[in-house]
Amino acid sequence: MAYTIAFFGTKPYDESSFNDKNKEFGFEIRYYKGHLNKNNVLLTQGVDAVCIFVNDVADAEVIRVMAANGVKLLALRCAGFNNVDLNAAAAAGITVVRVPAYSPYAVAEYTVALMLSLNRKIPRASWRTKDGNFSLHGLMGFDMHGKTAGIIGTGKIAKILIHILKGFGMNVLAYDLYPDYNFARQEQIVYTSLDELYHNSDIISLHCPLTEETKYLINDYSISKMKDGVMIINTGRGQLIHTNALIEGLKNKKIGSAGLDVYEEESEYFYEDQSDRIIDDDVLARLLSFNNVIVTSHQAFFTHEAMENIAATTLQNIKDFINHKPLLNEVKK
């Protein structure tokens, strides 16, 4: 009998990429559109492994039921794992694996796209011309050449981003708990304190993981230290930013613009078509009302190459688990 995997929170593009890659593995895959939660965890009966994405919930209650159903492996088809109770998984004997990197180029390039779109007012310009308005009033941007970018977190994505920004002729300040000084010398960037980064950066981009220490890293206090008119970009995790503090910064013009591919309460909205209903999240609705804010639906990763890599790594993780091989991408508390 084929090894059976239940996939939750799936879309047609997930099924397409995984079905194509699964020709090499031969697993039996069951796809479910709904996000994994306590109300549908019963669907894990009769499967060997469960595969989830960023907005699925694998808390202690869900993990307990999965374990009772005989599930031994929880495979995340994403890098983040803050939606998984790792202590509960360990106690229940469920192994957790993830996809630590699928296409750092995809996210880095998308980050630059947000910067350029905000700076040069491209969405506003496009809306205007479609309406026959070819005025330039209100569309002035700034040369990125010579400006300073502050990059918080210098993992694979951030390093590619830094390389791109250096190509624009930007100065780069970086912050990381574990600085890579060889990389800094190579790219001629400066590691500095958060306070100095806040104080000197024209653009701040977030690329650190979400931990207890980084939750709401961007808040009223940190925003008060920033340059007037600063641009803030977040393609990392929604809860790195306290959204109400961001909104207040936008209202008082301390923050000049913001590009958000993530949102702290995104699970209720992102990846779904909500166009036929009123957005009842007042905070999200307020964000969407600003003409100097771009909110996108956690799509920075979304390229052909990334989807292929996600499918390949996820299925290989599962195969390695079955064959009792070392799990290079295992997640432990």
The residues carrying an active-site annotation are 237, 266, 298
Q: How far is CA 70 from the centre of its chain?
A: 31
Q: Whole-angstrom Cα distance, residue 62 to residue 147?
A: 48
Residue 306: Cβ-neighbour burial (10 angstroms; 0-12, 13-18, 19+): buried
Separation between Cα atoms, residue 89 and residue 214, nearest integer Å: 23
Question: What is the spatial order of strands in the sheet that 4-7 belongs to?
Answer: 28-31, 4-7, 49-52, 73-76, 95-97
* 308 and 17 Cβ atoms separated by less than 8 Å: yes
Strands 255-260, 293-295: pairing is parallel
Annotate 139-173 with DSSP letters as a single string. Answer: ------TT-EEEEE--SHHHHHHHHHHHHTT-EEE
Query: Chain-centre distance of CA 183, in angstroms?
Result: 23
92: Cβ contacts below 8 Å, ≥ 6 apart: 63, 64, 66, 67
CA nearest neighbour of 17 among 269, 329, 303: 303
